[in-house]
């Protein structure tokens, strides 16, 4: 049999399973009575056989592009690199506002001052030329060691146009991690701010690859001059720009397969891993995302999520493509609301941690207001909820009476909110939709996939999932028998989420072993997350494979899943779940929400300061009871309930070493940090029931 004709027949067979819908966008698919399981009714994704020669139908692709994985922007297929993307923006949006910061006058902060796309393009050229002038060769790594500000993106654009590899250095990782990354990535030039200069210089002798340090915001005359023997020049950012203007150099555009950035993921243990991402990886991911996420040149975006992380980085690439104006926060999260009021953004990206705070703040304010205000809010909320469920527009009177005041907290103009990094509870997502009135979309992704793996589609009103696959990748679920997850599970297939396509990273830098651990021989990236397919081809994250542990009786526990459930409890600011194979039950350390705790204690007539309240047995019992109620509502299994709780005032933060920069709990560190509390909880459990907690 001729192999070409056989392949053609298989392709034709797949085509016969599909019909395009004439009722809506021609890119979307509708049901075909003859298609069997292949085409999902009203589906957001479709199922393909893993290999055309097998009958196993378990690979899902976006219904927007089922035959070909997206690798370029459909409207601009010529954009193949980050340099191309920015050149397109400079050409099309030259006089549009691009980067904005708040003007500081006499120590006070005023309105935003803007650079246009054209002005940033000019600065990018001067900066890149300055690096060439200092002998930084093509392909070299350039470190960026400060938080979000215009210079971060200007340096990144310069790296793209002159074929340098940008390497974000987390300002929160501490000097040891910075030193490791600089040496591991062979960083030759580092951009820092005056505040980080001294710590950087003190470790320069242990970072032999560094040849140039550029200080952003510093005055050149106040910078230290290092002896020639050090082999390192220290210059101010403004001097480097002038040197570049005086010595202009032509662009050295990268190829699509050239490395664009090394993104180091902190991980929960060990040294950081360098994720190698190419220009083609990043363009493919953002191009795929652009099918469902549409920005406009009239949009304004606030940048405060760390630019060292892929979530914010991908948002910035998308912003450039659409010509969006990007305003930066002052650098202080406590002043973010003030920045929002001044900028009045239309697009707001965040993480569940902040959205949960917004939710808690508003719901607590409603409860304490009582009387007429509480009844009015509930009436408005229920009316708008019903309208949304029925696909209708709610009466504008509810916005005027209630919700416009809430919208003003984020500046009053937000039309689109995105959430990523960890699961957002369906209740909070629904709440945001109703109160802020725009589109709220939750996505799922990781650094190793250049960001988005899946995202909620526009018009999809179902919550509690992370949408359909990015058109730039395909997704399948692989059986995890030790956790009883299989693709044959009823009513929904379950398993470890695996991803393949042009968005998959090249590998971990200088680490073949760990690369082979996550990418199999067929090119599938194994994420370590457990998912299930909901009707319509929507993906739902239900568990985590990597952090599982066994209890004494052999039950497998995924602590992150349980922590996400308990996060809905009103008393819980943050939660750390612990268990091991020597004990048969779980215990919890809860960082309390101080306002909720104080308010509740006052209503119950319990006196004492917050520290005393945390140690009060009656308070502990009330918190555990509330956690139990939330656990039952979320259908936790019996062994997944925490049997004891320790309340602490101190939040889990980057500074105390309990969180990674992506706000995930560092489990080994948390176990050590709370060792005494964990021991005491198990002692209490053993004392209350001597038979309950012994290993069999």
- Checking if the pLDDT of 33 tops 50, the result is no
At residue 576, the pLDDT reads 95
At residue 3, the pLDDT reads 54
- HSE-up (13 A, CA, CB side) for residue 256: 12
Structure tokens belonging to residue 627? 């956690």
**pTM for this entry:** 0.79
Encode pLDDT of 265-296 as tens digits. Answer: 865 445 788 999 999 999 999 999 999 999 99
How far is Cα 102 from Cα 312, in angstroms, rounded to an integer?
Answer: 20
347-412+414-544 CATH pick, 3.30.70.141, 3.40.50.12780, 3.40.50.620, 2.60.450.10: 3.40.50.12780
Closest CA to 113 of 384, 410, 356, 328: 328
106-115, 158-167, 207-216, 549-558: which range is least confident on average?
Answer: 549-558
Contacts of residue 4, Cβ cutoff 8 Å, sequence gap at least 6:
none
Q: For residue 167, report the phi and psi dihedrals to the nearest 5 degrees.
A: -130, 100
User: Are the beta carbons of 509 and 272 closer than 8 angstroms?
Assistant: no
- Checking if the pLDDT of 21 tops 50, the result is no
How far is Cα 473 from Cα 498, in angstroms, rounded to an integer?
Answer: 10
If you search the block for the tokens 């200007």, which residue do you land on? 154
At residue 652, the pLDDT reads 92
Which residues face 541 on adjacent strands?
531
Q: Which tops the pLDDT comparison, 324 or 545? A: 324
Closest CA to 568 of 354, 356, 351: 356
Q: Residues 147-169: what's their mean pLDDT?
A: 97
Q: Residues 1-27: what's their mean pLDDT?
A: 46
Q: Which tops the pLDDT comparison, 23 or 634? A: 634
At residue 505, the pLDDT reads 98
Longest dimension (CA), the chain: 85
SS3 content of the chain, % helix, strand, coil (to 5): 40, 25, 40
- What value, to the nearest 5°, has the Cα angle with vertex 248 and ends 247 and 254? 130
Q: Residues 242-254: what's their mean pLDDT?
A: 97
Q: Could you tell me where the beta strands, DSSP code E, fall in 182-271?
A: 187-193, 212-216, 233-236, 259-265
3-12, 253-262, 310-319, 631-640: which range is least confident on average?
Answer: 3-12
Structure tokens belonging to residue 534? 């909901």
Type and span of the H or E element at 115: strand 108-116
User: Are the beta carbons of 591 and 674 closer than 8 angstroms?
Assistant: no
User: Are the beta carbons of 347 and 299 closer than 8 angstroms?
Assistant: yes
At residue 32, the pLDDT reads 38
Q: Residues 421-429: what's their mean pLDDT?
A: 85
Q: Which tops the pLDDT comparison, 6 or 574? A: 574
Q: Does domain 82-328 have CATH number 3.40.50.12780?
A: yes
Please measure the distance between the N-terminal and C-terminal CA atoms of the chain and give it in whole angstroms.
61
Q: Residues 135-155: what's their mean pLDDT?
A: 96
Asked if the peptide bond before residue 324 counts as cis, ω within 30 degrees of 0, the response is: no
At residue 17, the pLDDT reads 40
At residue 533, the pLDDT reads 95
* Distances from the Cα of 647 to the Cα of 68, 411, 569, 687, angstroms: 52, 35, 13, 20
At residue 370, the pLDDT reads 78
If you search the block for the tokens 């146009």, which residue do you land on? 161
At residue 387, the pLDDT reads 85
Q: Residues 540-557: what's their mean pLDDT?
A: 76
Q: Which tops the pLDDT comparison, 641 or 370? A: 641
Q: Residues 410-416: what's their mean pLDDT?
A: 94
What sign for the dihedral angle of Cα 363, 364, 369, 371?
positive
User: Are the beta carbons of 567 and 356 closer than 8 angstroms?
Assistant: yes
161-165, 322-326, 618-622: which range is least confident on average?
Answer: 618-622
- HSE-up (13 A, CA, CB side) for residue 19: 12
| Burial group, residue 496, by CB count within 10 angstroms (0-12, 13-18, 19+) | buried
DSSP of 620-658: HHHHHHHHHHHHHHTT--GGGSEEEEEEESSPP-TTTTS
Structure tokens belonging to residue 315? 């948002």
At residue 317, the pLDDT reads 98
Closest CA to 307 of 292, 297, 317: 317
If you search the block for the tokens 């109620």, which residue do you land on? 629
DSSP of 83-125: HHHHHHHHHHSTTSEEEEEEEEETTEEEEEEEEEHHHHHHHHH
**What pLDDT band is residue 655 in, cutting at 50, 70 and 90?**
confident
**Number of neighbouring beta carbons within 10 Å of residue 675:** 11
How far is Cα 261 from Cα 279, in angstroms, rounded to an integer?
Answer: 8
Encode pLDDT of 461-516 as tens digits. Answer: 888 899 999 999 999 999 988 778 888 888 999 999 999 999 999 999 999 999 99
Contacts of residue 9, Cβ cutoff 8 Å, sequence gap at least 6:
none
Which residues face 265 on adjacent strands?
273
Going from N- to C-terminal start, the domains of the chain cover 82-328, 347-412+414-544, 549-688
- In terms of average pLDDT, the best of 15-24, 55-64, 252-261, 537-546 is 252-261
How far is Cα 37 from Cα 157, in angstroms, rounded to an integer?
Answer: 46
3-state secondary structure of 190: strand
Q: Residues 574-579: what's their mean pLDDT?
A: 93
Q: Are strands 300-303 and 57-62 parallel, antiparallel or unpaired?
A: unpaired
Strand order in the sheet with 187-193: 233-236, 212-216, 187-193, 141-145, 165-168, 259-265, 273-278, 507-508
- Checking if the pLDDT of 131 tops 50, the result is yes
- Number of H helices and number of E strands within the chain? 22, 30
- Checking if the pLDDT of 670 tops 60, the result is yes
Across the chain, what does the average pLDDT equal? Answer: 87
At residue 483, the pLDDT reads 76
Q: What percent of the chain is predicted at pLDDT more than 70? A: 90
At residue 270, the pLDDT reads 59
User: Are the beta carbons of 531 and 541 closer than 8 angstroms?
Assistant: yes
**What pLDDT band is residue 695 in, cutting at 50, 70 and 90?**
very low
Structure tokens belonging to residue 67? 């035959």
Structure tokens belonging to residue 238? 């403004």
Which residue stretches of 441-524 are H helix?
A: 512-518
At residue 692, the pLDDT reads 43
At residue 451, the pLDDT reads 96
Residue count of the chain:
696
- Checking if the pLDDT of 145 tops 80, the result is yes
- Checking if the pLDDT of 128 tops 70, the result is yes
- Checking if the pLDDT of 616 tops 70, the result is yes
3-state secondary structure of 425: coil
Q: Does domain 549-688 have CATH number 3.40.50.970?
A: no
**What pLDDT band is residue 688 in, cutting at 50, 70 and 90?**
confident
Q: Which tops the pLDDT comparison, 42 or 558? A: 558
Tell me, what DSSP letter sits at residue 155? H
How far is Cα 459 from Cα 462, in angstroms, rounded to an integer?
Answer: 9
User: Are the beta carbons of 144 and 169 closer than 8 angstroms?
Assistant: yes
Evaluate whether 82-328 and 347-412+414-544 have a shared fold.
yes
């Amino acid at each position: 049999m001729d192999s070409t004709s056989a392949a053609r027949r298989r392709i034709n067979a797949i085509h016969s399973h599909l019909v395009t819908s004439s009722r809506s966008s021609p890119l979307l698919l509708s049901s075909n009575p003859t298609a069997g399981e292949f085409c999902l009714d009203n589906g957001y994704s479709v199922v393909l056989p893993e290999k055309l020669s097998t009958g196993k139908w378990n690979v899902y692709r976006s219904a927007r592009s089922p035959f070909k994985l997206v690798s370029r922007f459909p409207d601009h297929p010529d954009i193949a690199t980050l340099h191309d993307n920015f050149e397109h923006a400079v050409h099309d949006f030259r006089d549009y506002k691009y980067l904005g910061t708040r003007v500081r006058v006499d120590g006070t902060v005023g309105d935003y001052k803007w650079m246009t796309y054209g002005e940033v393009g000019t600065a990018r050229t001067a900066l890149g030329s300055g690096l060439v002038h200092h002998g930084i060769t093509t392909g070299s790594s350039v470190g960026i060691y400060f938080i979000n500000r215009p210079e971060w993106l200007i340096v990144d654009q310069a790296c793209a146009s002159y074929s340098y590899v940008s390497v974000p250095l987390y300002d929160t990782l501490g000097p040891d991690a910075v030193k490791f990354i600089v040496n591991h990535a062979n960083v030759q030039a580092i951009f820092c701010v005056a505040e980080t200069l001294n710590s950087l210089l003190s470790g320069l002798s242990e970072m032999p690859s560094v040849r140039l340090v550029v200080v952003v915001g510093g005055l050149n005359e106040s910078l230290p001059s290092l002896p020639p023997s050090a082999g390192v020049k220290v210059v101010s950012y403004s001097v480097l720009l002038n040197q570049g203007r005086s010595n202009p150099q032509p662009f050295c555009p990268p190829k699509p397969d050239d490395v664009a950035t090394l993104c180091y993921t902190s991980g929960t243990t060990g040294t950081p891993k360098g994720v190698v991402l190419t220009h083609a990886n990043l363009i493919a991911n953002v191009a795929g995302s652009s099918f469902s996420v549409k920005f406009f040149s009239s949009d304004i975006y606030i940048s405060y999520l760390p630019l060292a992380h892929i979530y914010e980085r991908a948002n910035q690439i998308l912003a450039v493509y659409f010509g969006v104006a990007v305003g930066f926060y002052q650098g202080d999260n406590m002043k973010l609301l003030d920045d929002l009021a001044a900028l009045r953004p239309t697009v707001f990206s965040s993480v569940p941690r902040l959205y949960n705070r917004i939710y808690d703040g508003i719901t607590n304010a409603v409860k304490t207001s009582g009387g007429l205000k509480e009844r009015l809010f509930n009436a408005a909320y229920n009316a708008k909820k019903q309208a949304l469920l029925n696909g209708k527009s709610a009466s504008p009177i509810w916005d005027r009476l209630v919700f416009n005041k809430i919208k003003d907290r984020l500046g009053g103009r937000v039309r689109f909110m995105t959430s990523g990094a960890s699961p957002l509870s369906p209740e909070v997502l629904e709440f945001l939709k109703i109160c802020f009135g725009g589109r709220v979309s939750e996505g799922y992704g990781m650094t190793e996939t250049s960001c988005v793996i899946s995202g909620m589609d526009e018009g999809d009103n179902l919550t509690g999932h992370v949408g359909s696959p990015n058109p730039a990748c395909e997704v399948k679920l692989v059986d995890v028998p030790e956790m009883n997850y299989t693709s044959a599970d009823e009513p929904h297939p379950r398993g470890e989420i695996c991803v393949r396509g042009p968005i998959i990273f090249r590998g971990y830098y200088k680490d073949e072993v760990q690369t082979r651990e996550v990418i199999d021989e067929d090119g599938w990236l194994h994420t370590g997350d457990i998912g299930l397919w909901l009707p319509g081809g929507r993906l739902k994250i239900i568990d985590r494979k990597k952090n599982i542990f066994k209890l004494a009786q052999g039950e497998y526990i995924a602590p992150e899943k349980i922590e996400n459930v308990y996060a809905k409890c009103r008393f819980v600011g943050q939660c750390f779940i612990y268990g091991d194979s020597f004990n048969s039950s779980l215990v919890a350390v809860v960082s309390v929400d101080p306002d909720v705790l104080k308010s509740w204690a006052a209503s119950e007539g319990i006196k004492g300061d917050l520290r005393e309240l945390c140690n009060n047995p009656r308070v502990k019992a009330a918190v555990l009871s509330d956690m139990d109620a939330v656990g039952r509502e979320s259908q936790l299994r019996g062994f997944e309930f925490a049997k004891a709780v320790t309340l602490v005032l101190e939040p889990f933060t980057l500074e105390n070493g309990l969180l990674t920069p992506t706000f995930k709990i560092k489990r080994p560190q948390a176990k050590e940090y709370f060792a005494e509390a964990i021991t005491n909880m198990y002692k209490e459990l053993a004392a209350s029931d001597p038979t309950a907690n012994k290993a069999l």
